[in-house]
Amino acid sequence: MTNGAMKKQSLVERLQYIDRRIIFAFIAVAVIVPLLIGAQLKEKTTPIVQAMFDNVEGLPEGSRVLLSYDYGPTTAPEIQPMVDAMVRHCAERKCKMYMMAVWATGHNLTGETIEGVLRPDFPDLEYGVDFINLGYKAGNQGLIRLILVDFKTMYSTDANNIAIDDFPMMENITSLRNFDLIVSFGGGFPGIKEWIQFAGDPGNIPIGGGCTAVGAPNLYPYYPSQLVGLLGGAKGAAEYENALIIAYPKYEDYPMAGMSLMVSQTVAHIVIIFFIVFGNVLYFILRARGMTKEGLGGVR
Amino acid sequence: MTRRQLATYIFFGVVVILFAISVALKGFFVTFGAFLTLAIFSFLYDDNPYYKFAEHLFVGVSAAYWMCMGFWGTMVPNLFGRLYPPMVGPVIPALKDNPSDPFMLIPLILGIMLLMRLSSKAGWISRWALAFVVGTTAGLNLVRYLRSDFIQQISSTAMPLYVTNSAGFSLGETISNIVIFIGVMCGLIYFFFSKEHKGAFGAGARAGVIVLMITFGASFGYTVMARISLLVGRMQYLLDSWLGMIG
């Protein structure tokens, strides 16, 4: 392009080649500023999340809930808030919580819940009586298939290598059929889908789930016949927290991770929508002038 | 030394001093986590050695972590602990008095056969164990997919197109069921290639394309939400755990 041609470039033409790093900077500001302000955004609970909440709420005291940590640190920002809210809810309902992982990375995240939610907020709950950490076992869907018929073949000890029969809450647990509800938190493989296929459907056990936003569209078809409810991404977590606050007003002033996440999320979405609309407007202006650079792309 | 080189040295000197202060105030692991986060983010500007270092470290640590978890979490208690319990007694005392299970020799042998892959001469032996894994997985998945993803999903799609409940006619559920039914039908028509997409059949196929586009759009929207959530998670770490700027 000659110097003369460059001088003739209008603002609209120059914006066609906007540097992608400028867009990254806008997204960074959109995420950081709401975090610094510390605002929380309440989400209206949708029926699919409310169904999950109602299912836990309807469990009688002492019900057995299996919580499977099928995720890792890479997706923890999305999933950990829903796990914390669910565990808090189960503790309020005085359910027995059995934590396990079919992902190796889920093993350490069970400790996050125990140390971050149960120990500080429910000090009366006792390990081995009210909740237990069964840890990680390899085997993917094969593991689920096996514990559907024989639980203690795979789980002879807890995560701390203590004999499983030493814990009162493990009495009468012989298979997955002994659980009143199984909730899988994940979105990848193995995850909610495998729990439905290898435990929920063959064992006629209620399955609930909390998954990453990426995985949610593939799991919605299982609701309501094969899933009792589903929490999709950060929004699902915020909706569950909202349902928890409505049912248990003492959490009104409690810092909720999912709700905090949704403020940055909303602002970032607005910025993205702005850039999509902006880019299209530029495209149509340039097309009207017959100046589009097909094939060169707008963003570098 | 040029002015640009001097500016670069000053910049990195300041960064090193800041990280040294951070190590003193927040500890090594929090600071190192922040460094790795920033190293990965630096790829947004351009490829660089810091990004490469963080990326390779992640791959190496992940592989080692999965291997250790698999060994200590499954192989030791579930294989060695059942094959010869006294062997794991020093590590897991709870298992030392359990009865021995000679059938565990089978997975042990299959496991050793898989490791034969490391040998150029005996590598073919690993195919037998691999065939066992593939066959078992295929057999397990075939039955479960057929039941849960085929029969059960067809059953879930066959919903009443005129819904009534205790309050009478339910317009919302009726519309929802009709949309699902038409969406599934049109999607199936689009992927039916034994008949030319013309006339009413062609209209169904075009509607199927629209349904697919809406589905892809919804998936993309959810993907954006997921990625932003991860970004927020890292920002929370930097601003809260590292810098302590969030109250």
**B139-184 residue pLDDT tens:** 999 999 999 999 999 998 888 899 988 888 999 889 999 999 999 9
Ranges in chain A annotated CATH 3.40.50: 47-254
Task: Point out the least confidently predicted range of A213-217, A257-261, B2-6.
Answer: B2-6
Residue in B42, B225, B238, B243 to test binding to A, most A beta-carbons within 10 Å: B225
CATH number for A47-254 (one of 3.40.50, 1.20.120, 3.90.228, 3.20.20): it is 3.40.50
Q: Is the dihedral angle over the CA atoms A168, A173, A178, A184 positive or is it negative? A: positive
Q: Which residues of A touch B140 (CB under 8 A)?
A: 141-142, 145, 198
Beta-strand relationship, A64-69 and B164-165: unpaired
For residues B238 and B164, membership in a common domain is answered with: yes
pLDDT of residue B95: 87
Domain end, chosen from B142, B158, B174, is at B158
Mean of pLDDT values over A132-140: 93
Could you say which of B144, B219, B228 has the minimum Cβ distance to residue A197? B144
Integer CA distances (angstroms), A136 to A160, B176, B189, in order:
11, 40, 44
pLDDT of residue A3: 52
**A159-204 residue pLDDT tens:** 999 999 999 999 999 999 999 999 999 978 999 999 999 999 999 9
pLDDT of residue A293: 58
Using the structure block, give the residue that is written with the tokens 């009792």. A228
**B94-127 residue pLDDT tens:** 888 889 999 999 999 999 999 999 999 999 999 9
Across the interface, whether the CB atoms of A75 and B230 are under 8 A apart is answered yes
In a domain, B231, yes or no: yes
| Chain B (169-228) residues lying within 8 Å, Cβ to Cβ, of chain A | 215, 218-219, 222-226, 228
Per the model's pLDDT, the better-predicted residue between A286 and A67 turns out to be A67
pLDDT of residue A38: 84
pLDDT of residue A6: 53
Across the interface, whether the CB atoms of B223 and A76 are under 8 A apart is answered no
Mean of pLDDT values over B241-246: 88
- Show the tokens assigned to A245: 């606050």
Domain end, chosen from B116, B138, B158, is at B158
Q: Is residue A283 over pLDDT 50?
A: yes
For residues B149 and B170, membership in a common domain is answered with: no
For residues B174 and B195, membership in a common domain is answered with: yes
Q: Which residue in chain A is spatially nearest to B215 when comparing CA positions?
A: A217
In a domain, B167, yes or no: yes
What percent of chain B clears pLDDT 70, i.e. is strictly above it?
100
CA distance B52 to B50: 5
In a domain, B235, yes or no: yes
CA distance B35 to B23: 11
For residues B124 and B146, membership in a common domain is answered with: yes
For residues B147 and B213, membership in a common domain is answered with: no
Q: Is residue A7 over pLDDT 70?
A: no
Model pTM score: 0.89
> Mean pLDDT in chain A?
91
Confidence class for position B247, pLDDT limits 50, 70, 90: low
The strand ranges marked E within chain B are 164-165, 168-169
Across the interface, whether the CB atoms of A161 and B77 are under 8 A apart is answered yes
Domain count, chain B: 2
Could you say which of A136, A201, A233 has the minimum Cβ distance to residue B69? A136
For residues B125 and B168, membership in a common domain is answered with: no
pLDDT of residue A254: 87
pLDDT of residue A294: 56
Tell me how far the alpha carbon of residue B83 is from its chain's centroid. 32
pLDDT of residue A1: 47
- Show the tokens assigned to B30: 């929090």
Mean of pLDDT values over B24-32: 91
Enter the DSSP assignment of B75. Answer: I
Across the interface, whether the CB atoms of B239 and A35 are under 8 A apart is answered yes
For residues B176 and B143, membership in a common domain is answered with: no
Mean of pLDDT values over A36-44: 86
Tally Cβ neighbours within 10 Å of residue A51. 17
Confidence class for position A155, pLDDT limits 50, 70, 90: very high
Could you say which of B70, B137, B219 has the minimum Cβ distance to residue A138? B70
Enter the DSSP assignment of B72. Answer: I
For residues B147 and B167, membership in a common domain is answered with: no
In a domain, B216, yes or no: yes
Task: Point out the least confidently predicted range of A126-135, A143-152, B238-247.
Answer: B238-247
Confidence class for position A237, pLDDT limits 50, 70, 90: very high
pLDDT of residue A265: 93
In a domain, B151, yes or no: yes
In a domain, B51, yes or no: no
Q: Is residue A125 over pLDDT 50?
A: yes
Parent domain of B210: 159-242
State the smallest CA–CA distance between residue A272 and chain B in angstroms.
Answer: 9
In a domain, B165, yes or no: yes
pLDDT of residue B96: 87
Contacts within 8 Å (CB) and 24+ apart, A160-163? A160/A133, A161/B77, A161/B91, A161/B92, A161/B93, A161/B94, A162/B94, A163/B94, A163/B95
Q: Is residue A295 over pLDDT 70?
A: no
